[in-house]
Amino acid sequence: MNETEQLLKQVATRARSGADGPAKPLPAPLDAAEPARAALILGFELPPLLAGLHTRVADGGFGPEGGLMPLEDAVATYRAMRGSGWKWPGGVLPIAHWGCGTYVCVDCRSETAQVLLFDPTLGEPDLAWFIDAPSLADWLRGWLDGSAWYCEDSAAGEEYDLDLAPWTDFRSRV
């Protein structure tokens, strides 16, 4: 079993366990062809791990905070944000909405599927983007082991005084 397969299995186990609150039924996983359909609409492919989450675990509803969005919602949000005044960068797919306009996003054009945090409360598009995790795999592992800043018991997020690095590729991608 390769690393991606092992991670998908761990995420599926956690998602179905109810460890993040009262167990609720998860949406059904998507048909294996759905990520390709989404790619046609988006103009870029989903990273294999992200596609696997939607086709092998569930179509959203699991993960940190409120969980991942269904793929259809992520595509619709991407399209809406690309047309907004925020100069949304190409290839950056929102995967989770954390309230107050804040989104967790995956840079689908990066080799590692880097995870970014979009926080519009700072007012300027140049200041709204941060690197949350070097890869989607790392972001998921932080959720699984409780070490990520957004985990309730994590020392990293105790005071929510985050020192996330700015995402410097923003300007070159809008």
The enclosing domain of 117 has a CATH number of 3.40.1580.10
Residues of the chain above pLDDT 90, percent:
72
Name the band, by pLDDT with cuts 50, 70 and 90, for residue 158.
very low
Distance CA 133, CA 3 (A): 17
Total domains in the chain come to: 1
How does strand 92-97 pair with strand 129-133? unpaired
Residue 17 located in a structural domain: no
**Assigned domain for 106 exists:** yes
Residue 59 covered by a domain: yes
Residues 6+ apart with CB under 8 A from 36: 45
Residue 87 domain flag:
yes
More confident residue, 156 or 110: 110
State pTM to two decimals: 0.92
- Say which residue, 160 or 20, is predicted with more confidence: 20
Instruction: Return the residue matching tokens 């092998």.
Output: 56
Residue 1 lies in a domain: no
Mean pLDDT, rounded, for 130-140: 97
Task: Kindly state the tokens that stand for 57.
Answer: 């675990």
pLDDT digits (tens, 9 = 90+) for 83-122: 988 889 999 999 999 999 999 999 999 999 999 999 998 7
- Identify whether 2 is part of a domain: no
Asked whether residue 25 is domain-assigned, the answer is no
Domain containing 144 equals 30-173
Output the pLDDT for position 87: 86
pLDDT value of residue 157: 45
pLDDT at 166: 93
**Choice between 157 and 112, residue whose per-residue pLDDT is larger:** 112
Q: What is the pLDDT of residue 101?
A: 92
Gap between the Cα atoms of 82 and 101, Å rounded: 14
How many residues are listed for the chain in this entry? Answer: 174
List, for residues 40-75, the tens digit of each pLDDT value. 999 999 999 999 999 999 999 999 988 999 999 999
Output the pLDDT for position 127.
Answer: 86
DSSP string, the chain: --HHHHHHHHHHHHHHHTTTSS--PPPPPPPTTHHHHHHHHHTSPPPHHHHHIIIII-SSS-SSTT-PPPHHHHHHHHHHHHTSTT-PPTTEEEEEE-STT-EEEEETTSTT--EEEE-GGGS-GGGSEEEEESSHHHHHHHHHHT-STTSTT-GGGTT----PPB-TTHHHH-
pLDDT (average), residues 147-158: 68
Q: Tokens 């996330």 map to which residue?
A: 164
As to burial, measured by CB atoms within 10 angstroms (0-12 exposed, 13-18 middle, 19+ buried), residue 115 is: buried
Q: Which residue has tokens 């905070």?
A: 65
| pLDDT above 60 for 159 | no
Residue 23 lies in a domain: no
